[in-house]
Amino acid sequence: RLKPIQKMEGMTNGVAVGPQQAAGLSDISAQVQQYQQFLDAARSLPDFSELDLQGKVLPEGVGPGDIKAFQVLYREHCEAIVDVMVNLQFTLVETLWKTFWRYNLSQPNEAPPLAVHDEAEKRLPKASLVLLSKFEPVLQWTKHCDNVLYQGLVEILIPDVLRPIPSALTQAIRNFAKSLESWLTHAMVNIPEEMLRVKVAAAGAFAQTLRRYTSLNHLAQAARAVLQNTAQINQMLSDLNRVDFANVQEQASWVCRCEDRVVQRLEQDFKVTLQQQNSLEQWAAWLDGVVSQVLKPYQGSTGFPKAAKLFLLKWSFYSSMVIRDLTLRSAASFGSFHLIRLLYDEYMYYLIEHRVAQAKGETPIAVMGEFANLTTSLNPLDPDKDEEEEEEEESEDELPQDISLAAGGESPALGPDALEPPAKLARTDARGLFVQALPS
């Protein structure tokens, strides 16, 4: 798939640019051979599903041939995007979008070559493209294809979030993610709003994922240096042994409903893993094991996504309580713990994201895209409304009342007094590790 890249004066990634614009772009495509080892360049684009018309009548002016032409053209378009991405020709993505969506030819300086436009018009006239862009089955199919495409691109660019990536490549990916949505919106200026919303939601999820994964990778490399430093590890162990975990547990239990023996086991496992000076990859395996144990009872349950997200919230809250204790004690290794905490929270997010996607039978990009659609709902004045409605719908499904590593043991009913934090919880109080929510 790697192709020779021709460089010409005034050209950047094959796109004509002015002197100032060229100076401002981070172009690393000339070093593609150097950076290829960090990509999964052998990965190919998976097959797309067939377009299901759902029994709907085709729009007036559109025939079955137009549907087939759209599918073939869109597949070719996505394969072209994969090719330029593998070659790190990021700015060419905007050109490909403009070409496919027949960017306004009244702007000749920015429009695709006329020959390319004429070829596309022969295969699928723009009038038919516009009509199809409002047809619901086409919108759903395009959404599915974009999710498959972008998930594949994430796995090409960042095949392993923990593996070191050169800073130049990381910065190029982040700059690309920053430009994505504006490029797409600009290229689809004459395309119906319905299609634009579908495309922007998927592209936004793709951009967000690239930003998060590059940030996670940066944290991983910083933490790797800490985990390999014996003096820092010994200081962290010394500071951690001074933390009053019993007090932390009592305070956190009001929110987390943490079962004592579960927390104690996690505490001991953490200390042992730290003492063994395990590698970053071994820490990642430990975190993955924690997630597997906690969520195992809810595999196959309709409440799995809700339980997984609640676990993520409770994990973050509990770890913040430990960091708080270290801060109050002016721990010498606070900086190291803060870095490790940031990494572990981000990696937990990564793990939960993938578990939820797997449970739903979707790609992580699709899961993030659903959230993007939620936040750009038709009711922008009340952004919490859709979230509340989603929670109400989920509450009607089968949802675990508690999330615990321990088998058995039901959470006691919470009365009105539960809204006040207890002075001290009985140490024998067997409660779930993470309870669904406090009553309002």
Q: Tell whether 157 and 116 lie within a shared domain.
A: yes
Residue type at 363? T
pLDDT of residue 266: 87
Q: Tell whether 182 and 284 lie within a shared domain.
A: no
Residue 80, pLDDT > 50, answer yes
pLDDT of residue 22: 39
Residue 347, pLDDT > 80, answer yes
Q: Tell whether 255 and 210 lie within a shared domain.
A: no
Domain interval for residue 324: 230-409+421-435
Query: What length is written for the chain?
Result: 440
CA dist 320 and 339 (Å) reads 12
Residue 106, pLDDT > 50, answer no
Binned at pLDDT 50, 70 and 90, residue 26 comes out as low
* pTM: predicted TM-score of the whole model, two decimal places: 0.78
Burial of 339 (0-12, 13-18, 19+ CB in 10 A): middle
CA dist 312 and 350 (Å) reads 10
Let me know if residue 8 belongs to a domain: no
Q: Tell whether 193 and 282 lie within a shared domain.
A: no
- Domains held by the chain: number: 2
Q: Tell whether 135 and 250 lie within a shared domain.
A: no
374-433 pLDDT, tens per residue? 555 444 444 444 444 455 445 444 444 445 443 333 333 334 444 444 444 444 343 344
Tell me which of 192, 219, 246 is where a domain ends.
219
Question: Average pLDDT for residues 225-250, to the nearest whole number?
Answer: 93
pLDDT of residue 181: 96
Question: Average pLDDT for residues 183-199, to the nearest whole number?
Answer: 95
- 5 touches 87 (CB < 8 A): yes
Closest CA to 357 of 134, 155, 84, 54: 155
